[in-house]
A and B are shown apart, each in its own frame.
Chain A
Amino acid sequence: MTTPLEVLEKFHLDFRWILSQAVVFLILYWLVKRFLFPVLLRRIQEREERVRAAIEQAEKERQEMERLRKEYEEQLAHIHEEARARLHQAMEEAYQAREALLAQARESAERLHRQAMDQIALEREKLLIELRDYVAELSVRIAEKVIERSLTRDDHHEMINDILEKELKEPTVR
């Protein structure tokens, strides 16, 4: 009957060396855990917190920016609408003003035209009267020349009156 230790000896295993390596590792682990890791993990945690805070801050700022942008866009849209409305109003007013001006101009032109026509009619009347006087006088003078002294003053008048009456009833000159 061989004991387990004898079996191990057949494999030429020297447990002093094996266990010493295990002890070397365990000491190394203890030292690393004791000295390096607390500081290292604290630093990593600090950085994580800082980064998280920075990201949260950035996110907050982004949301604020978004809000402002929306606000500006709304304002801008409002301004555009207002400008369009004002332009529309101004055009409307201008159109009305144009219409009014046109109407006024047309009226004024019509008035002038009417005045001119009246003036022309008046002038013509005046001219006709002048012309009739002149024609009468001319015809008297011609008649005088033709029948010089053959008529008395009374005859003369009688004759003129006859002519005038005839003329007034059926005017030959217009």
Chain B
Amino acid sequence: MKGGEAAAHGVAHKGAGASIAAPEETWFHWVYLTVGIPDWLTVSILVAFGLVLFSLFLSRRLETFPKGVQTVVEMGVEFVDNLCQSVIGPRGRDYVPLIFTFFIYIFLLNLIGLIPGMMSPTAHPYITLGLAIASLLMVHFSAIRELGLKNYLLHYVDRPFRNVWGNIFFNFFTLGPFVHLLSQLARLISLSMRLFGNIFGEDTTIYQFALLGMLVGQAFLPSWVQVPLPFQLPVALLHLLVALVQAFIFSALTAVYIGLFIGHHEEEEEERASHQHPLKPAHQNL
């Protein structure tokens, strides 16, 4: 692999000759060779396109009493609905489309690597970083929309006192806003690296087990039955579970982050309304 190509394919393929990872060349490598879009982005766009086509197709044949695919989709939607309502609260219903899209999209991105000649786009850090950025953009965008800019910004400061100046000094000395910003950055990194690490690890393991199966087949079988042994099969089955779990974790964490902004705000409103909390004084001063 040439140097420029390796750079476009990102860190995972730096020094491709020594890499143990699965090759990132898919059936769509010609797109990279002609237009310059890397394979993982092509696959990701294709999956998104397929999902859009599927939803257009499904939305035209939805029935009141579901059967077939619609049942599965509705089960997923209801599962996500329960999740959102328990994590975000009564406003959770509004976020079901977002969380469900994250879930199904990441699940498919994780799974598509199982097709020979394809790769999981989520085994590439650019894709997971992009997904995490989209997730946090949506989180902060919905927080601003729900709370208003002022209340949103108030989430970045601590307000333990009634006194405005007391709070200002407190935040100045504890570096509260800086810590809050850092935690947002940590969310970005944890969301993207968890997904990337899991799927990349699974793909690499599957690839290496497949190679091992080929080597063992060559070494121990008689020359007239040279077949690769499917050593990667158990890991591939495990990959189904990991794909589901990682997609669930990513979307559930997005819901949790939304809930931390909106649910937290609702709690504060209640406290402020009751004026009863003994430890946290009311903080309408800031």
Chain A interface residues toward B at CB < 8 A: 11-14, 17-22, 24-29, 31-33, 35-37, 39-41, 43-44, 46-47, 50
Known: A17-B126, A21-B121, A21-B129. 5 other contacts (CB 8 A): A22-B134, A25-B105, A32-B51, A41-B77, A43-B66
Quick one: which of A11, A33, A41 contacts B11, CB cutoff 8 A? A11
Interface size on B, residues (CB 8 A): 42
**Does B131 have its Cβ within 8 Å of any Cβ on chain A?**
yes
A35 vs chain B, min Cβ distance (A) = 5
Q: Are A33 and B97 in contact (CB under 8 A)?
A: yes
Which residues of chain B come closer than 8 Å to A17, judged between CB atoms? Answer: 8, 10, 38, 41, 126, 130
Q: How far is the CA of A32 from the CA of B127 in the complex (A)?
A: 20
Chain B interface residues toward A at CB < 8 A: 7-8, 10-11, 14, 38, 41, 44-45, 48, 51-52, 55-56, 58-59, 62-66, 73-74, 77-78, 96-98, 100-102, 105, 121, 126-127, 129-131, 133-134, 137-138
Q: Are B137 and A40 in contact (CB under 8 A)?
A: no
**Interface pairs (21), CB distance under 8 Å:** A12-B10, A13-B129, A17-B10, A18-B130, A21-B130, A21-B131, A22-B133, A25-B101, A26-B137, A28-B51, A28-B101, A29-B98, A29-B101, A32-B51, A35-B55, A36-B58, A37-B100, A41-B77, A43-B63, A43-B66, A50-B64
Q: Are A32 and B97 in contact (CB under 8 A)?
A: yes
Q: Are A28 and B48 in contact (CB under 8 A)?
A: yes
Quick one: which of A28, A40, A50 contacts B105, CB cutoff 8 A? A28
Q: Are B48 and A27 in contact (CB under 8 A)?
A: yes
Point out which of A12, A40, A43 has the most chain B C-beta atoms below 10 A from its C-beta: A40
A77 vs chain B, min Cβ distance (A) = 45
Q: How far is the CA of A26 from the CA of B56 in the complex (A)?
A: 17
Which residues of chain A come closer than 8 Å to B38, judged between CB atoms? Answer: 17
Quick one: which of B48, B62, B73 contacts A25, CB cutoff 8 A? B48
Across the two chains, which residue of chain B brings its CB closest to A36? B55
Q: Are B55 and A32 in contact (CB under 8 A)?
A: yes
Q: Are A47 and B55 in contact (CB under 8 A)?
A: no
Q: Known: A25-B130, A31-B52. Is A36-B44 also a contact (CB below 8 A)?
A: no
B179 vs chain A, min Cβ distance (A) = 19
Interface of A is mostly: helix
Which residues of chain B come closer than 8 Å to A26, judged between CB atoms? Answer: 134, 137-138
Q: How far is the CA of A44 from the CA of B74 in the complex (A)?
A: 8
Which residues of chain B come closer than 8 Å to A47, judged between CB atoms? Answer: 64-66
Q: How far is the CA of A21 from the CA of B196 in the complex (A)?
A: 14
Q: Are A25 and B131 in contact (CB under 8 A)?
A: yes
Which residues of chain B come closer than 8 Å to A29, judged between CB atoms? Answer: 97-98, 101-102, 134, 138
B110 vs chain A, min Cβ distance (A) = 14
Across the two chains, which residue of chain A brings its CB closest to B135? A25
Which residues of chain A come closer than 8 Å to B100, judged between CB atoms? Answer: 32, 37
Which residues of chain B come closer than 8 Å to A14, judged between CB atoms? Answer: 7-8, 10, 126
Quick one: which of B11, B56, B63 contacts A12, CB cutoff 8 A? B11
Q: How far is the CA of A166 from the CA of B241 in the complex (A)?
A: 148
Q: Known: A21-B130, A35-B56. Is A43-B62 also a contact (CB below 8 A)?
A: yes
Which residues of chain A come closer than 8 Å to B64, judged between CB atoms? Answer: 43, 46-47, 50
Q: Are B62 and A18 in contact (CB under 8 A)?
A: no
Q: Known: A12-B10, A32-B51. Is A22-B59 also a contact (CB below 8 A)?
A: no
Which residues of chain A come closer than 8 Å to B131, judged between CB atoms? Answer: 21-22, 25
A71 vs chain B, min Cβ distance (A) = 37
Q: How far is the CA of A46 from the CA of B62 in the complex (A)?
A: 12
